[in-house]
Amino acid sequence: MDHNGHPLSRRWLLAGAAAASAVTVAGVAARPAAATAAPTRTTTPLVVRDGIATAQLRTVDGAVARFQTDFHERLAGWLAFWSANSPRSWSVPVEVVASVGADGDTLTLHTVRHRYGVQLRDGFAAGRVDAAWWGTLASLHHHFPTVRALPDGSLRVVDGAGGWTGSSAQVAFAGAALRELWGQQPTGWQEHANRVLRRAGHRTDVASRAGWAAFTRASLRRGLGTESYE
């Protein structure tokens, strides 16, 4: 019996307790759901690097270079590849001049320097569109899926695993490389590129992973003057 004069049955108390319990449980369950509705976006911390492979890195604006870790590793692999296919009289690259995007996953290449005897020379220079420029462009297409030449001759790459994708940029590069490095007409580029591959000792189609890797490597070596394939 309620001392305030209002009779409360046991059934009502049990029903009320159950309802209160249900509200409490629902409220507790609802809070995590609300919290997970707007998850916090996590970003991979960038790493500070002052070099790429054997070369010192100098940024165009003098800023500290910050990279996504995997992108920096790919760049190191690319520069080692570039060096391994350069003339024996060249030293390993000693300086790279570039700019790095704010997100750490793009790089714009301006210069690659090496030593020739006691002299410091540009193996690649953005403002000098010569055979070495085309060879360096080939090396970047070998290692990265997205490569673009900018109006000032610098080369911009975006992080990603290299290989044949059949993109319009890759097809355009292949046609230009055939014209500028191999003296071939870009019309019917695939047939001409396969002829180049046969000259270089490869029996494969350029429009394949192995063929693209072989074509870009041969174009790098021809561009840097390492091998003529004549």
- Residue 29 placed within a domain: no
pLDDT score recorded for residue 27? 37
- Residue 22 placed within a domain: no
Which two tokens mark 5? 């004069």
State whether residue 159 is helix, strand or coil: coil
pLDDT over threshold 70, residue 110 = yes
CB 41 within 8 A of CB 79: no
CA neighbor of 78 nearest in space, from 120, 155, 140: 140
Share of the chain above pLDDT 70, in %: 81
- Residue 133 placed within a domain: yes
**pLDDT tens-digit series, residues 76-109:** 999 999 999 999 999 999 999 999 999 999 999 9
- Residue 88 placed within a domain: yes
pLDDT over threshold 90, residue 125 = yes
- Residue 155 placed within a domain: yes
Total domains, the chain:
1
- Residue 28 placed within a domain: no
pLDDT score recorded for residue 25? 32
Say how far apart CA 32 and CA 49 lie, in whole Å. Answer: 40
> Please, what is the Cα angle at 11 between 8 and 13, to 5 degrees?
55
- Residue 23 placed within a domain: no
pLDDT, mean over the chain:
86
- Burial (Cβ within 10 Å: 0-12, 13-18, ≥19) of residue 107: buried
- Residue 105 placed within a domain: yes
Say how far apart CA 223 and CA 136 lie, in whole Å. Answer: 8
Output phi, psi for 92, to 5 deg: -65, 155
**pLDDT tens-digit series, residues 138-188:** 999 999 999 999 999 999 999 999 999 999 999 999 999 999 999 998 789
Give the containing element (helix H, strand E) for 120: strand 119-125
Q: Whole-prediction pTM value?
A: 0.81
Residue 39 half-sphere exposure toward CB, CA atoms < 13 A: 4
Strand partners, 139: none
Q: Given the DSSP bridges, would you call strands 55-59 and 95-100 parallel, antiparallel or unpaired? A: parallel
Q: Which domain holds residue 135?
A: 47-224
pLDDT score recorded for residue 68? 98
